[in-house]
Amino acid sequence: MKDKSKNRLRDNDCPVLTANQMRMADQYSVDAGHISASELMLHAGQVVADAVIRYAEDGGRIVVVTGFGNNAGDGFIAARLLRKKRIPVTVIPLVPLESLSDELLKELEFAEEVGVKVRSVISRDDLAALDEWLRRAAVVVDAIFGTGLNKPLEGWIGEAVACINRSDRCVLAVDIASGIDADSGKVLGTAIKADFTLPIAAYKWGHWLNEGRTYRGELLSPAAIGIMDGTLDVMMDKHPFSAVRSYIINKNMLGRAFPARGEDIHKKALGHLWVFGGSQGYTGAPRLTAEGAQAVGVGLVSIACPRDVYPIIAGSALEVMVHAQEETTIWHDANAVVAGPGWGREYAGMLADLLHSGLAMVLDADALNMVSEDSKLTGLLKRRDALIVMTPHPGEAGRLLGVSAAEVQKDRLATALALVDKYQGWVVLKGAQTLVVSPNHHVWLCPFGSANLAVAGTGDVLAGMIGGLLAAGVSPDVAIPAAVGLHAVAGEQSGWHRAGQLEEIVASLVQKFRG
């Protein structure tokens, strides 16, 4: 599929960076003369100090544990700024001081000059002293390793991390919990279990993936340190080491999909969605899809279902037009199509007809299963010029790629990108932190959601929400992330336990966005 949307960085969007992207953004800012490296570190130290003050008890001692590199510098500067506010502070370097750069040693000297205590802990023999200082702490600042860590934390430094985890103190991690891989979220040997994590400049993938989600504690909003808006775009254009631009879905994005409507609006101006689905034992699925589309405000919905279940579906879907799929061709006038909810796997010919059309399509459930089993359908997808959206859960994603669901879950981002490359369409990889990926490798991660969504039928509702917004003419780079985000926010609400109740919550949220 040829994607015609521009996916520009918008105001209030929240980028998610790899460790390399963050390094490049820092370096570009310095090379372009926007800010110096020392100013970046100063600003980072200031935001760390500000965060500590929010969580420290009055009069409590702050213990800043440091390693090498910029994270240590951030910690030294934060310690100095905190001490200047008459807060007792101890810095505990876990590396020999002579191994630090001249710039870091200078920052440490500045901290000592204003009264910061420095107590090095550089071997197993010093771990008892570390325990003693930790017992005195109101807040422990983890400034040991940041996003640059690329090997396991082990040996006595791993034991020092274990001391911090045992201390039962409030731990604030600078940028990312030490020991967490900034790109994968996996634990490298051992890792700090933080109570709070303060991302510096931007979120990192490790905040959201694998163990990183549980080791981060409460994830604070990224702290600005002087990197200009738009730097990421410029940096990536100049350094095409990665085609991935990634963002966190936020509530500002949701609002863009639901602008206020004029008083003279009419249903035909709001799009017509067709849903192909339903079979014996699965007659509720297309109905839930239709209800999801109606909840986001599409003008018209029609269901095309097999003849043998037509009476059941037609009798239960009062606000929807229902047709036997064998007896209708008027779906050609649709604005978008959702295919697959509860459909069964015997309609590859009908699915091929739909794919031959120029209609925007959402492939869900059995449509995905048919694609995974039929190379001709895969070929049609690759050659298709019109918009296609695939919405697999991990099992379906595995079948589409010929791997297990467990392999999908090991690296969800790589899986989503592989699906995009293989099928040349948009992909919504469902699950905790659902990922949306466009054909040009722009990624949106959904931070919302609840285990309440792990109930039959909620995926059908989501497919309808995506299809409804596309049928209404909302551009895909707005419609697809917004539908995913709104569905997840609805799932967080109380007072529901069945998928059939979810569309009412979605509709209520939409009304709030429209004002």
- pLDDT in the model for residue 204: 94
CB–CB of 60/135 below 8 Å? no
* Cα distances (Å, whole numbers) of residue 193 to 163, 404, 433: 11, 30, 20
DSSP H helix total and E strand total for the chain? 20, 19
The single residue listed with the structure tokens 């899809």 is 289
DSSP 3-state assignment of 478?
A: helix
Residue pLDDT, tens place only, 388-443: 999 999 999 999 999 999 999 988 999 999 999 999 999 999 999 999 999 999 99
**Banded pLDDT at 13 (limits 50, 70, 90):** low
Which of 186 and 262 is assigned the larger pLDDT?
186
- pLDDT in the model for residue 261: 80
Residue pLDDT, tens place only, 177-201: 999 999 999 999 999 999 999 999 9
DSSP 3-state assignment of 93?
A: strand
Q: Indicate whether 8 pLDDT > 50.
A: no
Average pLDDT for 263-283:
90
Give the pTM.
0.90
Angle between helices 394-401 and 412-423 (to 10 degrees): 50
Among 72-76, 175-179, 200-204, which stretch is predicted with the lowest mean pLDDT? 200-204
Residue 298 token pair: 């599409």
Residue pLDDT, tens place only, 288-322: 999 999 999 999 999 999 999 999 999 987 889 99
Average pLDDT for 273-295:
97
Measure the CA–CA gap between 372 and 390, rounded to whole angstroms. 12
Domains of the chain from N-terminus onward: 36-225 (3.40.50.10260), 267-393+456-514 (3.40.1190.20)
Residue pLDDT, tens place only, 330-343: 999 999 999 999 99
Average pLDDT, the chain: 92
What DSSP string runs through 176-203?
S-TTB-TTT--BSSS----SEEE-BSSE
The single residue listed with the structure tokens 């994005």 is 253
Cα angle 367, 497, 389 (rounded to 5 degrees) comes to 25
- pLDDT in the model for residue 219: 95
Torsion angle, CA of 477/6/17/478, rounded to 10 degrees? -20
Measure the CA–CA gap between 430 and 446, rounded to whole angstroms. 10
- Alpha carbon distance, N-terminus to C-terminus of the chain: 35
**Banded pLDDT at 7 (limits 50, 70, 90):** very low
Q: Indicate whether 244 pLDDT > 80.
A: no
Nearest to 240 by CA among 232, 250, 248, 229: 232
**Banded pLDDT at 235 (limits 50, 70, 90):** low
Residue pLDDT, tens place only, 112-138: 999 999 999 999 999 999 999 999 999
- pLDDT in the model for residue 239: 45
- pLDDT in the model for residue 6: 31
Work out whether strand 336-339 and strand 321-324 pair parallel, antiparallel, or are unpaired: unpaired
Nearest to 111 by CA among 167, 61, 165, 64: 64
